[in-house]
Structure 1
Amino acid sequence: MRTLLEYGWGTLLPYALLLLLYWRLGSAPQLPFVASASLGGLLLWACFYRHYRHVADTPTATTRAAAQGYTECYGAAAAPGGKPLLSPYGKRPCLWYHAECQYQGREYQQRHRESHRSDDAFRLLDQRGEVVVLPAGALVDSRHQQRWRDGDYRYTEHWIAAGDPLYVLGELQRAGEHPRRQDFRDDLQLTLNQWKDDQHTLLRRFDRNGDGQLSAEEWEQARQAAQTQVQAMHRELAAAPLGSQLQQPADGRPFIISWRSPQDTARRLRRLAWCHAALATLAALHSVKLLLH
C-alpha cells in the first residue's frame, strides 16, 4: 500500500494493461483476465476506502493541543538540524526521499533495480509549535518528483523539501509530560527514603540539638525541605516544552505523510477508492456475461 499511495492515479494503469491483453487474446479464454481485474479492483477499493475513512474521521489538531494517540497534524516541513539530508542520485537537499535506479540496457546480465528510502526524522511546524516526524513505515505522497536517464540507467526520485506543506496522520507520543499529583507523592517519598539511607548527612542538616536522632519537630522540618526540593524540580519539568513525535501506529492503522491538506488527501483517497470500485464492478458484470455465454 505504501507504493500504491505514492503512485496514486498510476494504480489505474493495470486495468489498461489487462484491457490490452483482453483485446489481444481474441477468441482465447478471457474470463481469467476479467476476473482478475474484478478481484484486484475490489481489493484496491478496500485499501483506499479504509485509508480515506481514517483521514476523514480523524480531526486535525495543532501540535500543542494534540492528544497522545492516533491523531493528525497539518503544517510545514522543517529540517531537524545538523547535517542536511541529500537524495542519493540527484544530491538534492531534502527531508525525506524515495529513489530508484533501473538498468535499461541490452545486456540481460546487468538488469537490476535498486531502491533507497530515507527514515531520518524531520519536523512539522504549525502556528502553535512543532512535532518530530519519524517516517519509517509511512505511506508517503511527496510533492516533488523527477525522472531522468543517464546512459543505460533510468533514475527516479521523490522527495520532501523544507517548507513544503506537510500533513501527517499517525500515532502521537509525548516525552516529558507534566508531572501528575501521584508523581509528586512518589518523588517525595523517594527523596525521603534516599535521605534516610544517608543518616550522617540527614543528622548534620536537621539535628538541631545534636542528640544524634531526629525529633518529631526536626523530622517535620526535613519533610518540608524535601517537599520544597521536589516542588522546585516539578516546576522545572512543567516549564520545559513537551517533546512530541508522530510515528507508525503499533495497531496497524494507516500512517500517512502527504503534502496535500487533510481535505485534499481525503478527497483524493475517496476518488481513487470509487474509481477502483467502478472498474471492479464493470469487470464483474462482464465476467457474469462471459459465464452466461
Structure 2
Amino acid sequence: MYLFELSATILIALISFYIFFRNWKQLRFIEDTLTAKLCSAHQGYIELEGKGYPIHDQLIYAPLSNNQCIWYHSLIEYQETFLHKGRSQARWNIIYQNVSNQQFMLSDGTNSCLVDPDGAKIQSDIKLVWYGNTEWPTTTQILESQSMLNIGSKHYRYQERLIIPRQSLYIIGQFKTLPSHTNQSVREMMRDLIDNWKKDKLQLLTRFDTNKDGEIDQEEWESARLAAQLQAQQIYLERPVEQDVSIITKPDISQRPFIISVYPQKLLIKKYRQVAFSAFALCLMVMGYIVWLMRTYH
C-alpha cells in the first residue's frame, strides 16, 4: 500500500507540474507577443484580433446540426451497456468524429487575411449536445436551443462545437504573405506554355515542324520559343492584377502555440494564469505529502 500510494502521489505531482509548465509557457507567449494590425503586420509569429468570415461568403454547414459556421468539431457517440462484476454499467464510445480544416477570413475592420485552422488549439463558446436513436441525427439542433435534451432511452449522443460568422476572434500563430498565382514572370509563363505544347506532340509538329520531317530541330525550337515568348508577354499584359495573399497558420516551431479563440486576450491570460497557479499549488501540496509519507514509513 505504501508503494502504491507513493507511486500514485508522484504521478499526480508530475502531471500537475506538466499542466503548470504547459499553461505557464502558453501564458508567456500570449503576454509577450504584441498584437499586430493587419495593415502593418510583420512576417513571423504574431497575434491578431478581428472577426471571422467565410471566404467569398461561401458558408460551410456543420454536418450534424446543419448550422452555418466557419469552423466545427462534430462528434457522435454510442452508449454501450456492459456487465462488470455483476453490475450493469454504461460508457460512451466514439463512432464518428470530424473537424473542419477549411480556411476562413479574419478581418480587423480595415484589412483581412486567411486563417488555416489545421493544427490549432481552438476555443469556441458554442457547444450543442442532443440525443437520438439513430447513428446519424434525424433532427438538427438549432443555436437558439443549446441546452441538453432529455436522454431518455436514446443511445446516441451528438455533439458539435462551432464558430459562427462575425464572431470576434483572438489568434496567435505564424503570419506569412504568399505571392498570388498571377504574379508569374514572363519567363515562367513562357516555360509553362512550352511544357503544355510538349504534351500534345501532334499539335506541336503541325505548328512548328516547317520541313515536315516529323521532328522539331534546333531552328524550329527557336521559332517555338519566340512564339511562346510573344504569347506570354500578351498574357502578362492582359492579366488582372491580384494582391498577394496573407495567411496565419500553425507555427514552424512546434514549441510555439497556435491558438484560435473566441475569448478576448485578457480573458485568456486570466484563464491560463489561474490554471497554471492552481496546478503549481497542487504540485507543491502533493510534494509536501510525498515528503511526509516517506518520513512516516522510514
Contact 1:101 1:115 in 2 (8 A): yes
Q: Residue 45 of structure 1 aligns with which residue?
A: 20
Distance of 1:159 and 1:45 partners within structure 2: 28
The CA deviation at 1:262 is: 2.1
Q: Residue 37 of structure 2 aligns with which residue?
A: 62
The CA deviation at 1:111 is: 6.0
- Within the alignment, does 1:263 sit opposite 2:266 as a pair? yes
Q: Residue 164 of structure 2 aligns with which residue?
A: 161
Q: Residue 128 of structure 1 aligns with which residue?
A: 110
Q: Residue 138 of structure 2 aligns with which residue?
A: none
Please, what TM-score do these two structures have when normalized by structure 2?
Answer: 0.67
The CA deviation at 1:116 is: 1.4
Q: Residue 144 of structure 1 aligns with which residue?
A: 126
Distance of 1:63 and 1:35 partners within structure 2: 47
Q: Residue 253 of structure 2 aligns with which residue?
A: 251
SS in 2 for 1:64: helix
Please, what TM-score do these two structures have when normalized by structure 1?
Answer: 0.68
Paired AA for residue 292 in structure 1: R
Gaps of 5+ in 2: 84-89, 133-153, 190-221, 227-232
The structure whose residues are more often helix, as a share, is 1
Distance of 1:169 and 1:153 partners within structure 2: 36
Distance of 1:282 and 1:244 partners within structure 2: 48
Contact 2:80 2:93 in 1 (8 A): no
Deviations 1:137-171 (A, max 9, x none): 00111121122222112222111110111111111
Give the alignment of 1:82-101 within 5 angstroms: 83-101=58-76
- Cα pair distance change 1:86/1:189, threshold 3 Å: closer
- Number of equivalences: 235
Distance of 2:60 and 2:161 partners within structure 1: 14
Give the alignment of 1:131-280 within 5 angstroms: 131-150=113-132, 151-176=154-179, 240-252=242-254, 253-280=256-283
- Cα pair distance change 1:167/1:107, threshold 3 Å: same
Gaps of 5+ in 1: 1-24, 178-182, 192-196, 202-228
Contact 2:53 2:107 in 1 (8 A): yes
Identity %: 24
Q: Residue 194 of structure 2 aligns with which residue?
A: none
